[in-house]
Structure 1
Amino acid sequence: MTHGPCFHLAVPVTDIAEARAFYGGVLGLTEGRSAEQWVDWNFYGHQVVTHRTGDVRSEPAGHNLVDDHQVPVPHFGLVLEIDDFHDLAGRMKAADAEFVIQPYLRFEGEPGEQWTMFFLDPAGNAMEFKAFADQSQIFAT
């Protein structure tokens, strides 16, 4: 089976067991290759690698105001299908995750209307997941 382009992202974490509990347990990602210092994760068909380092931020470097919410910067994440977005939001709520921005419908009635949510992993890496009813609106202006 061949795949189209996929991204690879290395994410610093402070504890591999904690990363496994969050990325595998809470997010429900499948673990791939691993070693003592890192773990590959199937991030919805993309590769995210959690690398244990001693140099990890405990919070985002800054924020930008978007739609009356303080969006953490930097952050990473994915555009999901709406059902996958709501499934993930439910898993996060069931795990008593602390949201930076609770799941909500952003830009309602405007170009680019989307569901979005932000949260931090245990090492403080900010993550955003979003979903569009109409994926052709991803880059709408």
Structure 2
Amino acid sequence: MSHRPAVHLALAVDDLGAARAFYGGVLGLAEGRSTDHWIDWDLRGHQLVTHLAVGGPAAEAMSAVDGHAVPIPHFGLLLTDGEFGEFADRLRAAGTAFLIEPYLRFPGEPGEQWTMFFRDPAGNALEFKAFRDESKVFAS
């Protein structure tokens, strides 16, 4: 059987209606299959599933990166430079409260990247970023 590599992510949410409005409306993800206790989302070909769970996501830790407190766990996507700016504008227009406002991290270093952090309505942390040079994603 031939298939392309893809990631499957599952998140706990406490309100599927709020998840549908956020992931489908604000983030613009296409909705896949769903039931009364979960929704599949197309995260650029990767499967993201929001599962209804009493209490929402588990507690998290923080990690210091470039002078910011980064929430752990978190997930997101790598975007292009142009997509990053458009996406940040879309989030601002939707009234998204950023944990870390969009900014350029590690300027002039091999890992130079635009990054931003925010939460979904259930409190799950998301990071979206764009490398100035995509060949440097894993550069040290």
TM-score of the superposed pair, with normalisation by structure 2: 0.94
- Work out whether residues 11 and 57 of structure 2, in 8 Å CA contact, stay in contact via their aligned partners in 1: no
Instruction: State the secondary structure of the residue aligned to 1:76.
Output: coil
Gaps of at least 5 residues in structure 1 are none
How many residue pairs get aligned? The number is 139
Matches of 1:9 and 1:55, distance apart in 2: 19
Number of the residue aligned with 1:99:
98
Q: Does 1:21 align with 2:21?
A: yes
Instruction: State the secondary structure of the residue aligned to 2:91.
Output: helix
Matches of 1:44 and 1:3, distance apart in 2: 15
Q: How far has the Cα of 1:115 moved from its partner?
A: 0.4
Number of the residue aligned with 1:113:
112
Instruction: State the secondary structure of the residue aligned to 2:138.
Output: coil
Matches of 1:30 and 1:20, distance apart in 2: 10
Gaps of at least 5 residues in structure 2 are none
Matches of 1:50 and 1:87, distance apart in 2: 25
What percent of counterpart residues are identical?
A: 58
Instruction: State the secondary structure of the residue aligned to 2:21.
Output: helix
Tell me how large the CA RMSD over aligned residues is: 1.4
Number of the residue aligned with 1:134:
133
Number of the residue aligned with 1:40:
40
Corresponding letter in the other structure for 2:43: F
Q: How far has the Cα of 1:81 moved from its partner?
A: 1.4
- Runs of 4 or more, structure 1, over 4 Å off, are none
Moved more, 109-118 or 77-86: 77-86
Q: How far has the Cα of 1:37 moved from its partner?
A: 0.6
Instruction: State the secondary structure of the residue aligned to 2:17.
Output: helix
